[in-house]
Amino acid sequence: MKVVGARLPRYDGVGHVTGQTQYVDDVRVQGMLWAKALRSPVHHAKITHLDTAKAEAMSGVHAVVTWRDVPLLEYGHLSALGIPADEPLLAKDTVRYMGQPIALVAADDEDTAQAAVNAIEVKFEELPTLFDVRNAFDEGAPKIHQWGNWYPHFEGDMDRRQIRKGNIEDAFDRADKIISGVYRPAAIEHVPLETQVSLVVPEPDGRLTIYSCTQALYFSLAVVAAHLEVPMNRIKIVGGTVGGGFGGKVDTATETLTALAAMKANRPVKWRWTREEEFLVSSTRAPWHMEIIDAVTEDGWILGRKMLTLHDSGAYARFSPYGLTKHSFHHTGAYTIPNLHFDGYVVFTNRTPTTAMRGFGVTSISFAVETHLSRIADELGLDPYEVRLKNANRINDTSPNRIRYTDPSSVEVIQALSEAAGGELAPAYAGATRAPREGEMLPEHLIGQLKTEGH
Amino acid sequence: MATHRGFGISSIEYPTGMNQNGDPSQAWVKVKPDGRVDVFSGTSDIGNGAKTIQSQIVAEAIGIPYDWVTFDNSNTDSSPVCTGTFASRATFVAGNAVLKAAMDVKQKILEVAGKEMEVSPEDLHIVDGEVQVKGSPDTKLGVADVAAAATWTHGVLMTGTGAQLNEYAEITNTLTGEVSGPPHAAISYAACAAEVEVDDETGDVRVLRLIQVYDVGKAINPSLVEGQIEGGALMGLGLGVLENSYPYYPSPDHRGYSIGSYYMPSSEDMPEYKTAIIENPSADGPYGAKGIGEMANNGQPGAITAAVHDAVGIWVTELPITPELVLRALDAKAEPRREGKLIAFDEELSVNSMASGISWSV
């Protein structure tokens, strides 16, 4: 092979590092207006009064968009997969997080747009808030979402994602040690250099050209078309070059509202978020709460795992049900554990809705599982490499979903790490491979499982 | 008061493509009259190198130089469906789509060349931009000449299309989590070791070195793979010891609102890297490739946590491992509750300690 495997320079690298790449905010068109949003100043409230008349009457203001202007107010990014929508494009009667958009103003410049936002009359009746996922289930907890405090629409009307495999009680009975821990990685920001931005140009033929920083052109096309209730050929998304996304630009953050403002004003409109909006209002990686209880033998085999996950979704579901499902499918990490009992909930809180970010659903698991394994090795006085090599996925082992691994390389990467770090493995571990288990690497608890699953 | 060194490891896996699949990517390719090739794909390039990788795949598959390929992902009028750049899917899923489109157009090129050379297309292949008779490399015709003949002599537009769609894996048992088929494409594996230094007076944790091994299936472009691994590692380091959107979580107060008030890793936090790539080809990725874009920030936090324990004997399980958490843990010298065969850590963080609506136990 000549081209595949070659260390070629990045296709678009020169443009990026010399500042010549054209990003969305670099695009300026004749007659372009600028947008600013009215956002909720409180975490949870009823909207008791909303009057945009003064803002609309201001000189230089060309459109004020509220929920009344949105043809389909609620459409979820995963509606196409059967996950129902819960989040209005603009708040109608309730705000559930600080910063939730209520109206969008398009004006001659950003200062005029902001002055018009400030002129919108809005009143709130504040409601009790919920921020700690652990208290979401308490009897006295404030109810903060129309569906209750946790997502109730998993397949089969389940209110949680559940994995059950093998016989968990038996695993705990047979265990030499039962080791439990709680793992709580923080929410973090995506911090793209390019903040959320879009420019929408109404074309003479009635189409809309939408300049977008989306990570997913067709996702955005489908979402905008659904909200506007127009066929896809009415919209052209222009993009493909993104100034950093890391998952935060899978959501269609600005395109639909900018389009509505452009249609109402019949002028091109650009909406670009300030750095402060990017930090305080854009989605974060979710904070997770994970509790792991492992049943282990003295020599480091993991017989069974019980796990509880509370996924802090923020005020709306967005991609969280998808993220939690992926999380549940991978909750054994790179290891084979035959007896499993997993319960996971997508919990609503009054914070900015969380969303996809690099490693979605699994970054949390990798941290929790690996820290827990290091603890197990430490408690049992075993080599952390050896505990991992023992339990590492091998051909014919099965995943939490009972899918057989056909070509895992966890054994190889652990061995290569040991070598790169200057370590020395005992012969039984240095010679291990991905091949189906046999001998010392096929303990009784896995023989039983392989038989049950017909391998 | 002193600094202490520690070492810890982790080993992780990560799937390629959307969980449960069902996420299409499509592409089409056309040939200009001088043999240069235009690729239309809907894959956004978020800095992951999608434009480069997909162009390399097309050049390799057809047998033409890399700089003959122009890549266009600029809009939804000319580019077909791509679900998007996420779920570590751009190289694998979208890469398969452009590979299929390239193989399709290659067949068209060979058919026109066969007519021009009066040779059966099955007996031809393309090497370095020239169509050659297999086993007789001197009997050849440039792809540029084939493209000219297609345009001006045969009246043919040479195009190719490709689509990749891995079958949706339905959850067939919502109680157990059983699925109808594999819920993702290839799985990638990696392992990570962290060396840290912990200051027991200030609580400061510095990551000195990260040693990382990734099975990438096939490195389509080793420089870009290393870029993903080392760039991702810095994000993992941020997750481990620096970043927090809610410094007083679960409270929403005192959030950082600017790059100056939020602790992102910067160049001075960059550790020494040692990176190794293993190529265990996937069965169905383009040229055996797997996706590793996302997992690149998954391994470091667990390795760092273990290294901090190795250094000063504390387990900090709330991220990031801030100086405050380190100092509090050093003061508390917490031991797990040991009762019979139970060893219970972190009980003060558990739902059992503070919630009445949900409980959790063996």
What CATH number is attached to the domain comprising B232? Answer: 3.30.365.10
Residue A16 falls within a domain, yes or no? no
Distance CA B351, CA B280 (A): 42
Query: Are residues B205 and B308 in contact, defined by beta-carbon separation less than 8 angstroms?
Result: yes
> Do A161 and A201 belong together in one domain?
no
Distance from the A64 Cα atom to the nearest Cα atom in chain B, whole angstroms: 27
Residue A360: its pLDDT value, please?
97
Q: Do B84 and A218 touch (CB under 8 A)?
A: yes
**Among residues of chain B, what percentage have pLDDT more than 70?**
100
Collapsing DSSP to helix, strand or coil, A396 comes out as coil
> Do A326 and A409 belong together in one domain?
yes
Region of A454 on the Ramachandran plot (φ > 0 left; ψ -120 to 50 alpha; else beta): left
Query: Are residues B238 and B298 in contact, defined by beta-carbon separation less than 8 angstroms?
Result: no
Q: Do A409 and B278 touch (CB under 8 A)?
A: yes
DSSP single-letter state for residue B43 = B
Counting as low any pLDDT under 70, the low residues of chain A are: 449-455
> Do B289 and B149 belong together in one domain?
no
Residue A444: its pLDDT value, please?
86
- Residue-range definition of the domain harbouring residue A253: 23-127+190-275
**pLDDT tens profile B156-175:** 999 999 999 999 999 999 99
> Do B127 and B254 belong together in one domain?
no
Taking only residues 317 to 346 of chain B, the set having a beta carbon closer than 8 angstroms to any beta carbon of chain A reads 317-320, 341-346
Q: Do A161 and B8 touch (CB under 8 A)?
A: no
Residue B362: its pLDDT value, please?
78
Q: Do B283 and A371 touch (CB under 8 A)?
A: no
Residue A1: its pLDDT value, please?
82
> Do A322 and A371 belong together in one domain?
yes
Average pLDDT over residues B63-84: 97
Residue B176 falls within a domain, yes or no? no
Residue A44 falls within a domain, yes or no? yes
User: Which residues of chain A are within 8 Å of residue B249 when distances are taken between CB atoms?
Assistant: 186-187, 287
Whether the pLDDT of residue B43 is over 60: the answer is: yes
Residue B173 falls within a domain, yes or no? no
Q: Do B257 and A3 touch (CB under 8 A)?
A: no
Residue of B86, B88, B300 best to disrupt the A interface, most CBs of A under 10 A: B86
> Do A181 and A304 belong together in one domain?
yes
Q: Do B341 and A186 touch (CB under 8 A)?
A: no
Residues A31-61 as b/e (b if ≥16 CB within 10 A, e otherwise) read: ebbbbbbbbbebbbbebeebebeebeeeeeb
* Cβ-nearest to B75 among A154, A238, A408: A238
> Do A394 and A323 belong together in one domain?
yes
DSSP single-letter state for residue B140 = E
Residue B361 falls within a domain, yes or no? no
> Phi and psi (nearest 5°) for A221?
-55, -45
CB atoms within 10 A of CB B326: 23
Burial of B106 (0-12, 13-18, 19+ CB in 10 A): buried
For chain B, say whether A27 makes contact (Cβ under 8 Å): no
Distance CA B353, CA B359 (A): 9
Domain end among A253, A275, A297 = A275
> Do B329 and B202 belong together in one domain?
yes
B243 is catalytic: no
Residue A452: its pLDDT value, please?
61
For chain A, say whether B303 makes contact (Cβ under 8 Å): yes
Domain end among A247, A275, A303 = A275
CA distances from B290 to A142, B138, B231 (A): 45, 37, 18
> Do B100 and B219 belong together in one domain?
no
User: Which residues of chain A are within 8 Å of residue B189 when distances are taken between CB atoms?
Assistant: 334, 408-410, 412-413
Domain end among B131, B164, B197 = B164
Distance from the B109 Cα atom to the nearest Cα atom in chain A, whole angstroms: 19
Distance CA B178, CA A163 (A): 8
Q: Do A370 and B10 touch (CB under 8 A)?
A: yes
CA atoms within 13 Å, Cβ hemisphere of A371? 34
For chain A, say whether B280 makes contact (Cβ under 8 Å): yes
Residue A79: its pLDDT value, please?
83
Residue A319 falls within a domain, yes or no? yes
> Do A119 and A196 belong together in one domain?
yes
Q: Do B351 and A134 touch (CB under 8 A)?
A: yes
Q: Do A188 and B238 touch (CB under 8 A)?
A: yes
For chain B, say whether A12 makes contact (Cβ under 8 Å): yes
Q: Which residues pair with B31 in a beta bridge?
A: B37
Q: Do A401 and B235 touch (CB under 8 A)?
A: no
What CATH number is attached to the domain comprising A233? Answer: 3.90.1170.50
Residue A1 falls within a domain, yes or no? no
Total domains in chain A come to: 2
Residue A209 falls within a domain, yes or no? yes
For chain A, say whether B202 makes contact (Cβ under 8 Å): no
Residue B267 falls within a domain, yes or no? yes
Average pLDDT over residues B277-285: 96
Residue A167 falls within a domain, yes or no? yes
> Do A35 and A98 belong together in one domain?
yes
What CATH number is attached to the domain comprising A426? Answer: 3.30.365.10
For chain B, say whether A113 makes contact (Cβ under 8 Å): no
Residues 6+ apart with CB under 8 A from B67: none
For chain B, say whether A413 makes contact (Cβ under 8 Å): yes
User: Which residues of chain B are within 8 Å of residue A326 when distances are taken between CB atoms?
Assistant: 15, 19
> Do B58 and B103 belong together in one domain?
yes
For chain A, say whether B20 makes contact (Cβ under 8 Å): yes
- Residue of B243, B294, B318, B324 marked active site: B294
Helices within chain B (DSSP H only) = 50-62, 95-117, 143-149, 222-237, 300-312, 323-332, 351-354
pLDDT confidence band for B359 (50 / 70 / 90): confident
> Do B96 and B227 belong together in one domain?
no
Helices within A160-216 (DSSP H only) = 168-174
- Closest chain B CA to residue A326: B19
Domain end among A246, A275, A304 = A275
Average pLDDT over residues B216-234: 97
CA atoms within 13 Å, Cβ hemisphere of A444? 4
Whether the pLDDT of residue B124 is over 70: the answer is: yes
Residues A349-384 as b/e (b if ≥16 CB within 10 A, e otherwise) read: bbbbbbbbbbbbbbbbbbbbbbbbbbbbbbebebbb
- Residue-range definition of the domain harbouring residue B211: 3-15+186-349
For chain B, say whether A329 makes contact (Cβ under 8 Å): yes
**pLDDT tens profile A95-105:** 999 999 999 99
Total domains in chain B come to: 2
> Do B112 and B196 belong together in one domain?
no
User: Which residues of chain B are within 8 Å of residue A325 when distances are taken between CB atoms?
Assistant: 19-20, 171
- Closest chain A CA to residue B281: A407
Closest CA to A88 of A190, A227, A209: A227
- Closest chain B CA to residue A212: B75
For chain B, say whether A130 makes contact (Cβ under 8 Å): no
Sheet of B272-278: strand order equals: B3-15, B187-199, B205-215, B272-278
Residue A132 falls within a domain, yes or no? no
> Do A258 and A288 belong together in one domain?
no
> Do B7 and B75 belong together in one domain?
no
> Do B136 and B224 belong together in one domain?
no
Interface confidence, given as ipTM, is: 0.97
> Do B213 and B323 belong together in one domain?
yes
Residue B7 falls within a domain, yes or no? yes
Residue A453: its pLDDT value, please?
62
> Do A361 and A391 belong together in one domain?
yes
> Do A354 and A412 belong together in one domain?
yes
Distance from the B196 Cα atom to the nearest Cα atom in chain A, whole angstroms: 14
Average pLDDT over residues B138-157: 98
Residue A228 falls within a domain, yes or no? yes
Task: Count how many pairs of residues, chain A against chain B, have C-beta atoms within 8 Å.
Answer: 425
> Do B326 and B241 belong together in one domain?
yes
Residue B143 falls within a domain, yes or no? yes
> Do B10 and B94 belong together in one domain?
no
A45: its two tokens:
């409230």
